[in-house]
Amino acid sequence: MLRISVPVFVCMILLFSCSKTNTFVHCSNWIGDYAFHEDPVPTATGINKIMEWELTVSQTQNSDTCFGTLEITGLTTYIKLLTTLSGDSSRVDVVYNKYLDGSHDFKPGDVLFSLHKDSNQIVTSWKQLQPMLEDNPDAEGACFKLLKKKAS
């Protein structure tokens, strides 16, 4: 019995300790305030369309879970979502949890976009949610900037 349980135990440790998609490990590296400002688009009335995105990432006390509040504000747009972050210290998925204000067709668990660190920039990979002012936005780019790092 001991011969069988030791290899199983070792396999379980390796399986769970090497996971790159562990939802809670290292999310504290992402705690802070982030912003993305889409390029303004002129309208026929002379008023530019704007779209500003703000992502505030925090960690709940006594928990390893990181939550994000995503606010998207434009001339006639306001969306506020509660998200969770899933990933590791170098890459996270921003996952839809629920609406706080506004509406859109997301289901809990939908990956809105991913963020990963590349040298000294944060690269965004768009998924269910994409920039709204461009007709054909790039699938990936250096969009979000860290405004303020917060203590975990």
Hey, CA dihedral for 111, 124, 150, 103, is it positive or negative?
Answer: negative
Q: Strand pairing partners for 99? A: 81
Q: What is the per-residue pLDDT for 79?
A: 95
pLDDT (tens digit per residue) in 56-85: 999 887 777 899 999 999 988 999 999 999
Structural domain spans, the chain: 20-41+49-149
> Which regions of the chain are under pLDDT 50?
1-2, 5-25
